[in-house]
Homo-oligomer: A and B are copies of this chain.
Amino acid sequence: MDSIKIFAPATVANVACGFDIFGFAVDAPGDEVIVRKRSDNQIIITNITGEEGKLTYDVSKNAVTVPILKYLEQTGNTQGLEIELHKKMPLGSGLGSSSASSVAGVFAVNELLGKPLSAKELLPFSMEGERIACGSAHADNVAPALLGGFVVVRSYQPLDVFKVPTPDELYVTIVHPDIEVNTKDARHILRNEVSMKNTIAQMGNVAGMIAGLMQADYKLIASSMVDFIIEPVRAILIPEFWEVKNAALEAGALGCSISGAGPSIFAFSQGKETAEKVAIAMKNSFEKVGIHGDTYVSGINQHGPKIIG
């Protein structure tokens, strides 16, 4: 095999109550990366599309190549590679755009080199892409993009992530409004301290979410989708957030919150039909104030990256 084409999915991090610890993968959107072996030992990016010229071709600074360089360094491999990155999702959307690229690249290279490492072993490399893109090596988007499913980042020191089974009828609706929120800003407005009361309430919901997902208890999932810590602060950055959230809940969603650092908003529903109704309600709510929103409806993507060519 001399070349491979990989799709890696968008991801929703935080998932209401699980700031920095919960994330899950969706079926679409996502990024596509093509990696080809070269006869020399150069690593170059030959093409980037779909990002309006915003991403660099400098391999030491692009989220798709930084993990690849780390991977090759650590595995002692000198294979030359050329990389194409086709962004099929918006940057700065709160949907793990850089993670999808980071994961697609290193996953592609690992496949191309005969799969010496397991998916989980690729995680530290993919996280280096996050460090380049967001300033810190978070795992809550990268881990679900790489492993698929609903993932908990239990600990960073040592790094420990695990997957949580999710019920078949759980569908997600995402609306990505055509507005910009910088991930670094979204992090800076958060306080460094949390009240004990909110910490306890949030822990209760974290426990409820895990038990709800594992027992397919949609009522428990719904009541656990309350964020006392992050949503009240970050909602300020997203015009119409509360109206869109209310629209989702009125259309039958189990719960609704900010995807990652925003501005995308996600909702969980029981059943695809409800999730599609919720999509229309959320989109309409944004459009009332003249904001265009792209919507996506998907199950929980259990597989992560996919070989597509």
A186 to chain B, nearest CB (A): 14
Q: Which of A16-40 contact B (CB under 8 A)?
A: 17-22
Q: Which of A187-235 contact B (CB under 8 A)?
A: 190-196, 199-211, 214-215, 220, 223-224, 229
- The answer on a CB contact under 8 Å between A202 and B203 is yes
The number of times this chain is found in the oligomer is 2
Chain B residue nearest to A165 (CB atoms) is B215
- The answer on a CB contact under 8 Å between B202 and A196 is no
Q: How many residues belonging to A are interface residues under a CB distance threshold of 8 Å?
A: 39
Complexed CA–CA distance, A154 and B202 (Å)? 9
Complexed CA–CA distance, A207 and B164 (Å)? 10
Residues from chain B with Cβ under 8 Å of A214 in the complex: 210-211, 214-215
Complexed CA–CA distance, A191 and B154 (Å)? 24
A52 within 8 A of partner (CB): no
Residues from chain B with Cβ under 8 Å of A192 in the complex: 195-196
A160 within 8 A of partner (CB): yes
- The answer on a CB contact under 8 Å between A196 and B204 is no
- The answer on a CB contact under 8 Å between B193 and A223 is no
Residues from chain B with Cβ under 8 Å of A20 in the complex: 200
- The answer on a CB contact under 8 Å between B21 and A204 is yes
- The answer on a CB contact under 8 Å between B155 and A207 is no
Among B155, B208, B211, B215, contact of A204 (Cβ-Cβ < 8 Å)? B155
Complexed CA–CA distance, A220 and B160 (Å)? 9
Q: What are the interface flags for A54-75 relative to B under an 8 Å C-beta threshold, 1 for contact and 0 otherwise?
A: 0000000000000000000000
Chain B residue nearest to A213 (CB atoms) is B211
Q: What are the interface flags for A124-165 relative to B under an 8 Å C-beta threshold, 1 for contact and 0 otherwise?
A: 000000000000000000000000000011110000101010
Chain B residue nearest to A215 (CB atoms) is B214
Residues from chain B with Cβ under 8 Å of A190 in the complex: 196
Complexed CA–CA distance, A164 and B17 (Å)? 19
Complexed CA–CA distance, A154 and B199 (Å)? 12
A194 to chain B, nearest CB (A): 5
Chain B residue nearest to A21 (CB atoms) is B204
Given known contacts A192-B196, A203-B202, A208 and B18 CB-to-CB distance under 8 angstroms: no
Residues from chain B with Cβ under 8 Å of A195 in the complex: 192-194
Complexed CA–CA distance, A156 and B15 (Å)? 22
Residues from chain B with Cβ under 8 Å of A220 in the complex: 154, 162
Complexed CA–CA distance, A201 and B199 (Å)? 11
Among B152, B193, B223, contact of A160 (Cβ-Cβ < 8 Å)? B223
Residues from chain B with Cβ under 8 Å of A208 in the complex: 152, 154-155, 160, 162
Residues from chain B with Cβ under 8 Å of A215 in the complex: 214
A152-B204, A199-B229 given; 16 more Cβ-contact pairs under 8 Å: A18-B207, A20-B200, A21-B207, A22-B207, A154-B205, A154-B208, A154-B224, A155-B204, A162-B211, A164-B207, A190-B196, A193-B196, A194-B194, A203-B203, A207-B209, A210-B210
